[in-house]
Structure 1
Amino acid sequence: MNSDTGIYLYKPSLGAAIIAAGVFGISAAYHVFQMVRKKAWFYNPLTVGACMMTAGYVFRYLSAKSPASLGLYIGQSLLIILPPSLYAATIYMIYGRLVLFVAAPEASIIRPTRITKIFVCGDVLAFFMQAGGGGMMAQVSMAKTGQTIMLIGLFIQLFFFSFFLIISLVFWKRMRSSPKAFQVVQHGKYSWSALLKLLLSAAVIIILRCIFRIMEFGQGHDGYLTSHEVYMYLFDTVPMLVVQVMFHFLYAADVFGASALDMSGDNHSFINLYERSA
């Protein structure tokens, strides 16, 4: 272990960690404000993920100052790796509500009432496998096993998100050729199609980030991507910040309207809306 860089294969940047913690922190605070003000409680996973990402870069700053600390290294690694799974959970829940909102469940390959259950379960599995694998990778004796578990978790996340992207694209294609697309009343500031495009864009970005992480961990701890800090910031930090910020500008409440969002944040109001229109 190098006395200057500790566990790292490079000298981690203090300035980059501070900047990342600052911008993610501002975004996280605004997400909390939006969620509470608009009572959109299904944004909770995304908001928690934003707070975790902020904490991740705070830990990374502390880890950069004490690069030999295993605890700080594990903390920053997990808190940066795991949040996209929480972003994904919110994306799945918004999609289910969107399908019910436009009253076109037949246009979705999987029934909207099952979307959240199926994909969030897959997301939770990927989350815990990445968490377990990440913790093990920081220990020399378990690094190889941890790497394998981490890669399996990332592949599970990639599979479910890719499948979700296909489902969303099929839904969009079917709706574009359906008369129902022109019958949906616009309750809020934005149209349902604008929200769907946001979900598709976020999904693509997270998939690309997931591919980067698979390549990174596939190379091992001493791989080229792992040993150059700039790639993490370019292909993980920036894309995940973009995803967080995207959801500031087009909020689900601005599409569904306040009347369509119940206080508990579940699907009941949308299901009732669909039943009345059936």
Structure 2
Amino acid sequence: MNTDTGIYLYKPSLAGAIIAAGVFGISASYHVFQMVRKKAWFYSPLTVGACMMTAGYVFRYLSAKSPASLGLYIGQSLFIILPPSLYAATIYMIYGRLVVFVDAPDASIIRPTRITKIFVCGDVLAFFMQAGGGGMMAQASMATMGQTTMLVGLFIQLFFFSFFLVISLVFWKRLRNSPKGYKVAQHGKYTWSALLKLLLSAAVIIILRCVFRIVEFGQGHDGYLASHEVYMYMFDTVPMLVVQIMFHFVYATDVFGAGAVRAGSAETRA
């Protein structure tokens, strides 16, 4: 093992970790502000994920300073890998409320009363499998099992997100071809279709990120992607930052209106 790089197969960038922690931290702070000011508590998973991502790059900076520290390495790895599962939970909850808002449950392949339950349960399963796999990979005796568990968790996440993308596209197509889609009142700067496009775009970006992570973990710790830091920043850091920032602009409560959000929340819990 290279004593200069410790656990890493390269010299991790201190500047990259500082910049990433800074921009994710600014975004996370703004998400907290928006969620509290607008009482949009269904944004809690995304907000927690944004805070975790910030912590992940703080851990990465500390890990780069002490590359032989196993604890810091595990911390940065888990806090960077897991947040997209939390982003997904908010995306699923927004979709359920959106279907209720436009009053078109029949246009959705899965009814809004079941959307959150089905997809969030799948998301929770993927989250814990990735977390468990990441913990096992840190132990030499369980590294292979941990890698397999992590990959299964990522495949579960990919399956549910891909299924969600299909459901969302079908819903969008049906509403575009229905007079009902043109009769929905606009409460803010953006329409329901703009919010749905945001969810679709975020889903595509997270799916691509998930594919990158599957290939990376499939190659192993000493694989080409894992041994070149630039790819993590290109195909994980930047895409996840884009997703976080996108959700600052088209905010669900501005689309739904406060009353519609409360009604949607009650109905999607039914």
Conservation of the 8 A alpha-carbon contact between 2:116 and 2:268 = no
Q: Report % sequence identity.
A: 85
Runs of 4 or more consecutive aligned structure 1 residues displaced over 4 Å after TM superposition:
269-272
In 2, Cα distance between the equivalents of 1:16 and 1:266? 41
Deviations 1:13-45 (A, max 9, x none): 000000000000000000000000000000000
- The residue that corresponds to 1:268 in the other structure is 266
- The residue that corresponds to 1:259 in the other structure is 259
- The residue that corresponds to 1:131 in the other structure is 131
Instruction: Tell me if 1:174 matches 2:180.
Output: no
Q: Secondary structure at the match of 2:118?
A: helix
Q: Secondary structure at the match of 2:67?
A: coil
- The residue that corresponds to 1:14 in the other structure is 14
Q: Closer, same or farther in 2 for the Cα pair 1:171/1:8, shift >3 Å? A: same
Q: TM-score, structure 1 length as denominator? A: 0.95
In 2, Cα distance between the equivalents of 1:261 and 1:37? 14
Instruction: Tell me if 1:201 matches 2:194.
Output: no
In 2, Cα distance between the equivalents of 1:114 and 1:261? 17
Q: TM-score, structure 2 length as denominator? A: 0.98
In 2, Cα distance between the equivalents of 1:33 and 1:260? 21
- The residue that corresponds to 1:52 in the other structure is 52
Conservation of the 8 A alpha-carbon contact between 1:48 and 1:86 = yes
Given residue 45 of structure 2, which amino acid in structure 1 is its aligned partner?
P
Deviations 1:173-202 (A, max 9, x none): 000101101111112221000000000000
In 2, Cα distance between the equivalents of 1:214 and 1:125? 17
Q: Closer, same or farther in 2 for the Cα pair 1:33/1:270, shift >3 Å? A: same
In 2, Cα distance between the equivalents of 1:89 and 1:269? 17
In 2, Cα distance between the equivalents of 1:182 and 1:258? 21
**Runs of 5+ in structure 2 lacking a partner?**
none
- The residue that corresponds to 1:153 in the other structure is 153
In 2, Cα distance between the equivalents of 1:175 and 1:260? 19
Deviations 1:35-93 (A, max 9, x none): 00000000000000000000000000000000000000000000000000000000000
Conservation of the 8 A alpha-carbon contact between 1:261 and 1:269 = no
Q: Secondary structure at the match of 1:261?
A: helix
In 2, Cα distance between the equivalents of 1:98 and 1:34? 19
State how 1:47-126 maps to structure 2 within 5 Å: 47-126=47-126
CA drift of 1:2 comes to 1.4
**Runs of 5+ in structure 1 lacking a partner?**
273-278
Conservation of the 8 A alpha-carbon contact between 1:130 and 1:154 = yes
- The residue that corresponds to 2:237 in the other structure is 237
Q: Secondary structure at the match of 2:234?
A: helix
In 2, Cα distance between the equivalents of 1:52 and 1:76? 10
Conservation of the 8 A alpha-carbon contact between 1:45 and 1:86 = yes
Conservation of the 8 A alpha-carbon contact between 1:260 and 1:269 = no
Q: Secondary structure at the match of 1:188?
A: coil
- The residue that corresponds to 2:41 in the other structure is 41
Conservation of the 8 A alpha-carbon contact between 1:205 and 1:239 = yes
Give aligned pairs, total: 270
